[in-house]
Amino acid sequence: MSFGDGIRVDKVIGTGAMAVLLRATLDATGETVAVKLLLPRHMSNPEVAERFVREGETMASFASPYLPKILSLGTTDSGQPYIVMELLKGADLEDVLRSPRRLSVREAVAYLRDACEGVAVAHDHGVVHRDIKPSNLFLAEEADGTERVKLLDFGIAKLSPGLARGKRTSTQLVLGTSQYMSPEQIQCSANVDVGADIWALGVVLFELMTKRVPFEAPTALATMQAILRERPPRISCAGELPPGLVAVIDRCLEKDTRDRFPSVRELSRALAPYAEREATGPVFAVAMKAARTRSSDAHRRVTPRDGTPVVAREDQRSTLRYGRRS
């Protein structure tokens, strides 16, 4: 197998159910990049292959420092599509949450406002991400030493009519990660709007503040039932948080989309008073150490999407790709 564009593969970073992530070098410039390559076994499914290509085309249409830069798209000599992107250095917010130190309000809110910037770009293009969670929010170390959260993985995003091709998402599928899914996404993933991403951002901020998600049960199905039926819990450390910030999180987690913020930019503005960014501190260093323990490369994680029914999925933090609703 060979790639175009003078791409020389250095090593495998990680392998998932849908794709393999490779570390590679561009011969023309010497730049080290990440290559996401669709696995051969999925080539027999035109819908899967087409969605992979659309993911690359969608991300390539964005231009934002809060999203990974897509360098090129291509196909190997064996017909496998691939996406060439910048190789990020850093750790995702799931790694940050594993660190022993609790984030300050300023750190957590600054990270979420970065995420809002990336989500806003997607929304401006008519794209709903549908899988915002800590492992898809990457705390990247920039060339100048600063840090910035970047939004990753548009593999199950809802595309605008101008970007979408082929079959639409079936209304019989649940797409997303159970703890971060809004009520309407659980009921019909195909018909969600920006409100679903705003809900997920609220869940992430809740988790950054408390190190737990607002809804969690032994199974993904039970978690989704709780989201549909129960009121979100109040943050247990509310006494340590500004009341206004607690109110922002509560508004993100309103069951009715009309009661949430109308846009991620409105959410970001509401968070602004609490978001003075601090210098890179111990939490970043600890998260980096944890990430390096598992892998030396930033793009190691490939979200599994193997078609397992929702009720059979033990790891609720995995994306539910083809789980049928019960």
The model's pLDDT over 112-134, given as tens digits with 9 standing for 90+, comes to 999 999 999 999 999 999 999 99
User: Per residue in 75-94, pLDDT tens?
Assistant: 998 889 999 999 999 999 99
Which H/E stretch holds residue 19? strand 19-26
Is 21 part of any domain? yes
β-strand 90-92 against 81-86: which pairing, if any? unpaired
Provide the token pair at 101. 């130190």
256 in the same domain as 191: yes
Can you tell me the distance from the alpha carbon of 18 to that of 214, in angstroms, rounded to the nearest whole number? Answer: 29
Kind of pairing between the strands at 19-26 and 7-15:
antiparallel
pLDDT greater than 60 at residue 289:
no
Torsion, Cα 167 165 66 69, to 10 degrees, reads: 120
Find all residues with CB under 8 Å of 72, minimum gap 6, and list them: 5, 84
Out of 88, 104, 124, a domain closes at: 88
**Domains identified in the chain, total number:** 2
Do 163 and 222 belong together in one domain? yes
Q: Which of 30, 65, 88 is the last residue of a domain?
A: 88
56 shares a domain with 113? no
Residue 52 sits in a domain whose CATH number is 3.30.200.20
Q: How far apart are CA 88 and CA 97, in angstroms?
A: 19
Number of neighbours of residue 168 by Cβ within 10 angstroms: 10
Question: Does the pLDDT at position 313 exceed 60?
Answer: no
Domain CATH number, residue 170: 1.10.510.10
- Which one of 88, 116, 149 terminates a domain? 88
**In the chain, pLDDT over 90 holds for what percent of residues?**
55
pLDDT at 285 over 90: no
Q: Which domain holds residue 34?
A: 7-88
The whole-angstrom separation of Cα 164 and Cα 167 is 8
- Does the pTM of the predicted model rise above 0.75? yes
Q: Is residue 84, in this structure, part of any structural domain at all? A: yes
3-state secondary structure 267-325: HHHHHHHHCCCCCCCHHHHHHHHHHHHHCCCCCCCCCCCCCCCHHHCCCCCCCEEEEEC
Q: What is residue 23's three-state secondary structure?
A: strand
Please check whether residue 298 lies inside any domain of the structure.
Answer: no
Residues 100 and 80 grouped into a single domain: no
